[in-house]
Structure 1
Amino acid sequence: MNILTAPRFPLTRLLARCAVAATVALATAGAMAQQPWPNKPVRIIVPYGAGSSPDVIARIVAEKLSPRLGQPVVIENRAGGGGNNGTGMVAKAAGDGYTFVISTNGPLVYNTVLYKKLPYDPFTELRPVVLAGGQANICAVRSDSGITTLKELVAAMKKEPGKFNFSSTGVGSLSQLGVELLKVKTDTFAVHIPYASSPLAILAILQGDVQFACVPAVAVIPQVKAGKMRTLAVSTAKRSQLTPDIPTMKEAGLPEIENLAWMAIMAPATTPNDIVQRMNIEINAVLAMPDVKEKLHAQYMEPIGGSEQDLQRFMQQELRVMTPIIKRTGISIE
C-alpha cells in the first residue's frame, strides 16, 4: 500500500482533534480576556531605595489596597538614576493594568527641564492616577556642627565657600533644587552629592561626608529626637502641623523659597481608562482611612488624593513654576 491508497481516516481524525483543540484554546483565551481586572498581582514600582518616602507611602497604601482589589499589591524597588530608572521602566511598560509607579517631583516634572535628553517623557508616556501625598523638606545639620539657625548656615557658607557639601535624594530631586535655589538667593556655594534615598542622604551628614541637607522630615526627625541632628527650617509656605516647632524659610529670612516634596502614582500611558479610574477610586478610599492617615502622619506625610485631572493640572503647574527656577540655577544634565 502506498501513500496514495492508504486509508484517510487517521488524517481525518487528526484534523478533527486539531479543530476541537483550537476551539477549546480560543474559548479559554476568550474567557481569560473577559476576566475582570485584576486577576493577578499588581506591581507598584518605587524608583528609590527601601525606606525612602515613596517606599514608605507605597507600602502603607498597598497594605489596604490589596484587599480592595482582591489581589496582592507588590512593591518593587528599582532605585537609580535619581528616580529616572524605575520611572522610565514603567513609562515603557505594557499598559495592562499590572504595573504602576509611585514617583516624585524630579522624575515626573523637573527632569524634563534638567536633562538634555530624558529617556522617557512623563507627560506623554505616563498617565496620572492620583497624587498620593506630600511632605515638607526640612533643612538640617549635625547637632555638633555649631550651626543653630539657617542664617548661621548661610553665613558659614559665605565665610568658607569651599568647605560645604550637601546631600540629596538624587540629581534633579527637590532636595537638590531647594538647596540650589537657596544658593542662588543667598549667593553662596556648596557642592551637591546625590544619594539614592533620604536615609542615605542623612547618613552622609552623620558620617561627616556632607555638612547639611534639605530632605523629607521622615528621615530627619528620628535623628533629631536621638540628639544627632538639628533642624533649621521647613520648606513650605506655612509651618507644618506635623512639625509645628520648625520655622519656615520665610521666618528664617528667606521669603522666596517654598516647595513641597510630593509623590504621585502613575501608569503607562496606554493603560485603559476603566483601570485607571478604578485605581484612583480605591487609592482615594485608602488615603481617607483614619488609620492610614495616622500612619502617614507618623511618617510626617500628608495624604492628598484627588482626581486624575487634579494630578495632571498639578504637574503642569509645577512645570510652569519650576522651569524658570531650574533654568536660573544653570543646572543641565547630559
Structure 2
Amino acid sequence: MSFTAGRNEEFSAFRRDFHFTTVLGEEQMNWSQIARRRLIATAMALGVALTTTHASAADGQIRWLVGYPPGGSTDAIARLLAAPISKTLDQTIIVDNRPGAGSSIAAAALAKSKPDGLTVMSVDNGTLVINPVAYRTLQYDPDKDFRPVGVYAEVNFLLAVGKDQPYKTVEEFLSQAKTASVPIAYASPGIGSPLHLAVERMAREAGVKLEHVAYRGMAPALNDALAGVVPSIVIDYTTAREMIRSGDLRPLAIFSSTRLPALPDVPTFGEKALPGFSAVAWQAMVVPNDTPDEAVNRLSDALAKALEDPAVKSRYGQLGLGMPPSDPQSFQKRWQEDKAVWQPLIRDLGVTLGE
C-alpha cells in the first residue's frame, strides 16, 4: 500500500474499495478483488513487502509483525511508516500479518523472536494493557517479554449520534442520560475494546448510566447508528469522518484532551463535563525484551524521523491521528500510567475475552 508523497490518490482510490476501520480489536474489512490487487501493487512499488503469516526476514531485513489483517488501520499505519524507516535504516522491512485473538498471536510470536533488532511489532492498548487482564490465558507477558521503542500514533474517539437523533450537544446528551428512566444506548465495536472502555470510564466520571450495545466490529455498529437502531455510538474519527462530512453522523464530543484540528467546533469532554478527562487509543512499536540498547535507539531514532516525514504528517492530518512523543521513555511512562487507569476498570466491569 502506498503512503508516500505523490501516491495519496492511489491510496484514496484503494480505501474506497473496502471498509477501512480503526476498531483496535479484531479489525473488520470487506475485501474486493480490486482492493487486493491495489494493495499488492502499491506495496511492491514502495519496496515494502506484503507477506503472509509465518513469513520470516532474511539476514539484515526487518520483520514488522502486525497482529491484524492486511488493509486494516494498524496494518495501514505500519506500512505508512515502514517506507521512511526503511529508507533511513537502509534495510528492507517485511510487514508480517499474524491476525487473531486481539493481536495476541503476533505478540506471542514476538516474545519468542531473537532479540537482535530485526523483529519489531505494532502494539496498542489492547496488546499491552487490555489483553493481560481480559484474557484468561496469554502466551506472552508484556512487562517481561517486550521492550518499548516508541508510540507512533494516537487514535481519537468521538461520541456521535445519527442525524435524526434529538441530541444537538454533549450537554443535552448527558443531561438526558442523567434523568432518563431507561439508559441511553451506545454502540461500540466490541466488549473490551478501547472505545467501549472509554465510554464506560466517561459515564462513571460523569455520573450517568448508559447501555452498551456491543457489535462484532465497527461496520455493523456504524450501520445501526446511522439507521437509528441505536441512538449513539463511540467511533474513531478515521472511520467517522466521511459520515460526519455528509451530515449523517453528528459528533457531540471528543474523548482526547484537545480538540481535533479537523473538527474545530466539536468540544472535548474535558471542556464541557469532565475537567482533565482524556481517553485515546495509541499504537506503538516494541521489540523483544533483551534487544540491545544500540538496536533500540537506532529503531527509535528512525521512527522519530519517519514521523517528521511530510507525507506521513499529511496523512496523519487527513486521518485525524495524533502524533505523540515517540521515545522509549515516554512510551514506558504512558504504558504504565494506562495500566493504572484501565486495568482496574476492566476488572471492575468483569470483561473477559477468549476461551
TM-score when normalising by structure 1: 0.76
Q: Kindly provide the amino acid, as one letter, of the partner of residue 304 in structure 1.
A: P
Q: Do 1:176 and 1:192's aligned partners in 2 also have CA atoms closer than 8 Å?
A: no
Name the CA distance, whole Å, in 2 between partners of 1:207 and 1:79: 30
Name the CA distance, whole Å, in 2 between partners of 1:259 and 1:131: 15
Task: Identify if the C-alpha distance between structure 1 residues 148 and 75 changes in structure 2 by more than 3 Å, giving closer, same or farther.
Answer: farther
Residue 17 of structure 1 corresponds to which residue in structure 2?
none
Task: Identify if the C-alpha distance between structure 1 residues 264 and 244 changes in structure 2 by more than 3 Å, giving closer, same or farther.
Answer: same
Name the CA distance, whole Å, in 2 between partners of 1:133 and 1:151: 29
Name the CA distance, whole Å, in 2 between partners of 1:285 and 1:199: 34
What pairs with 1:15-30 in structure 2 (closer than 5 Å)? none
Name the CA distance, whole Å, in 2 between partners of 1:86 and 1:158: 45
Report which stretch shifted further, 321-330 or 103-112: 321-330
Shift in Å, 1:262: 1.2
Name the CA distance, whole Å, in 2 between partners of 1:39 and 1:204: 49
Q: Kindly provide the amino acid, as one letter, of the partner of residue 123 in structure 1.
A: D
Task: Identify if the C-alpha distance between structure 1 residues 200 and 242 changes in structure 2 by more than 3 Å, giving closer, same or farther.
Answer: same
Q: Kindly provide the amino acid, as one letter, of the partner of residue 126 in structure 2.
A: G
Structure showing greater Rg: 1
Name the CA distance, whole Å, in 1 between partners of 2:298 and 2:249: 43
Residue 269 of structure 2 corresponds to which residue in structure 1?
249
Report which stretch shifted further, 312-321 or 94-103: 94-103
Residue 164 of structure 1 corresponds to which residue in structure 2?
185
Residues 219-238 of structure 1, C-alpha deviation per residue, up to 9 Å, x if partnerless?
11122112221111100223
Name the CA distance, whole Å, in 1 between partners of 2:344 and 2:137: 18
- Choose the corresponding residue for 1:97, options 117, 121, 124: 117
Residue 188 of structure 1 corresponds to which residue in structure 2?
209
Q: Do 2:158 and 2:251's aligned partners in 1 also have CA atoms closer than 8 Å?
A: yes
Shift in Å, 1:61: 0.6
Residue 199 of structure 2 corresponds to which residue in structure 1?
179
Does 2:340 align with 1:320?
yes
Report which stretch shifted further, 176-185 or 111-120: 111-120
Residue 103 of structure 2 corresponds to which residue in structure 1?
83
Name the CA distance, whole Å, in 2 between partners of 1:189 and 1:280: 41
Residues 135-154 of structure 1, C-alpha deviation per residue, up to 9 Å, x if partnerless?
32111222233433334444
SS of the aligned residue for 1:130 comes to: strand
Task: Identify if the C-alpha distance between structure 1 residues 303 and 165 changes in structure 2 by more than 3 Å, giving closer, same or farther.
Answer: closer
- Choose the corresponding residue for 1:220, options 217, 240, 256: 240
Shift in Å, 1:244: 1.7
Residue 62 of structure 1 corresponds to which residue in structure 2?
82
Instruction: Among all aligned residue pairs of Structure 1 and Structure 2, give the percentage whose two residues are the same amino acid.
Output: 29
- Choose the corresponding residue for 2:310, options 265, 290, 308: 290
Shift in Å, 1:209: 6.4
Number of matched residues?
296
SS of the aligned residue for 1:187 comes to: coil
Name the CA distance, whole Å, in 1 between partners of 2:253 and 2:227: 22
What pairs with 1:114-263 in structure 2 (closer than 5 Å)? 114-154=134-174, 155=176, 159=180, 161=182, 164-168=185-189, 170-185=190-205, 186-196=207-217, 198=218, 201-203=221-223, 205-206=225-226, 210-255=230-275, 257-263=277-283
Residue 267 of structure 1 corresponds to which residue in structure 2?
287
Name the CA distance, whole Å, in 2 between partners of 1:272 and 1:38: 20
Task: Identify if the C-alpha distance between structure 1 residues 224 and 76 changes in structure 2 by more than 3 Å, giving closer, same or farther.
Answer: farther
Name the CA distance, whole Å, in 1 between partners of 2:162 and 2:233: 10
Let me know the Cα RMSD of the aligned residues: 3.0
Residues 187-216 of structure 1, C-alpha deviation per residue, up to 9 Å, x if partnerless?
3132342545x5565355346665433232
Residues 117-156 of structure 1, C-alpha deviation per residue, up to 9 Å, x if partnerless?
4432111111111111213211122223343333444426
Name the CA distance, whole Å, in 2 between partners of 1:158 and 1:265: 44
Name the CA distance, whole Å, in 1 between partners of 2:131 and 2:276: 22
Q: Do 1:47 and 1:84's aligned partners in 2 also have CA atoms closer than 8 Å?
A: yes
Report which stretch shifted further, 266-275 or 200-209: 200-209
TM-score when normalising by structure 2: 0.72
Q: Do 1:42 and 1:72's aligned partners in 2 also have CA atoms closer than 8 Å?
A: yes
Give unmatched runs, 5+ long, in structure 2. 1-56
Q: Do 1:90 and 1:101's aligned partners in 2 also have CA atoms closer than 8 Å?
A: yes
Task: Identify if the C-alpha distance between structure 1 residues 92 and 312 changes in structure 2 by more than 3 Å, giving closer, same or farther.
Answer: same
Residue 31 of structure 1 corresponds to which residue in structure 2?
none
Residue 50 of structure 2 corresponds to which residue in structure 1?
none
Give unmatched runs, 5+ long, in structure 1. 1-36
